[in-house]
Amino acid sequence: MIMRGLWRLAKGERAGIADFGGDLDHFYASLAPLIGIPLAGALIMAMHGAWREALVGFLARLVGVLLLPLLVYEFSRLFQREKFWLRTATALNWSFWVLFPALVIAAFIGAMLSQFGVAMERAELFTLGLVGLYLLWYRLFALRAGLGLKYWQAGVILLVSSGALAVVTVLPYLLGFGPPLKLAAS
């Protein structure tokens, strides 16, 4: 049901939201890989001596994972759609996995563009931009379908949640708790 729901939402079918469970067990199941995979990565990093980076990275990811459902809940209350928040949060948690097929398609498009003479750097930038836009649309659509909102209401949630996720991801590094950020010079 989860894969079918992801596929239906990815195609823009509002009814795909019904393929996700709307109870706590389904919600917890959707959180498990989002917490378990970063935890495993953090443990591996810690075993290689980078315990501080592992801890900061894991805690930033954990806060990010838990922040999105919290914001969905609060906005669902604000828009009087509270009874739909759990199914929507579950669908949004599972939507992380849409990234992988989107990246495969982007790699194919990037390869085609480079075959037509587009510089590889530009092709990569273009296709990654497309993936980013698609994933934003996907999240917007899932919010709209899940909570039964207008596009502007879903857009507000999308903007606030994306901004909040960016802050909790970058802030520990800016405060000096993680490894120094290395920005590539162009």
186 is a domain residue: no
139 is a domain residue: yes
Residue 186 confidence (pLDDT): 53
Domain limits at 135? 2-174
Considering its fold, how many domains does the chain have in total? 1
166 is a domain residue: yes
165 is a domain residue: yes
| pTM given for the model | 0.86
What are the residues whose beta carbons fall under 8 Å from the beta carbon of 140, sequence distance 6 or more? Answer: 151, 154, 155, 158
Residue 19 confidence (pLDDT): 95
Angle (CA) 54 55 59, round 5°:
120
61 is a domain residue: yes
181 is a domain residue: no
| Full pLDDT tens readout for the chain, 186 residues | 899 999 999 999 999 999 999 999 999 999 999 999 999 999 999 999 888 888 988 998 999 999 999 999 999 999 999 999 999 999 999 999 999 999 999 999 999 999 999 998 899 999 999 999 999 999 999 999 999 999 999 999 999 999 999 998 888 878 877 666 566 655
The model's pLDDT over 159-185, given as tens digits with 9 standing for 90+, comes to 999 999 999 888 887 887 766 656 665
Residue 171 confidence (pLDDT): 84
24 is a domain residue: yes
179 is a domain residue: no
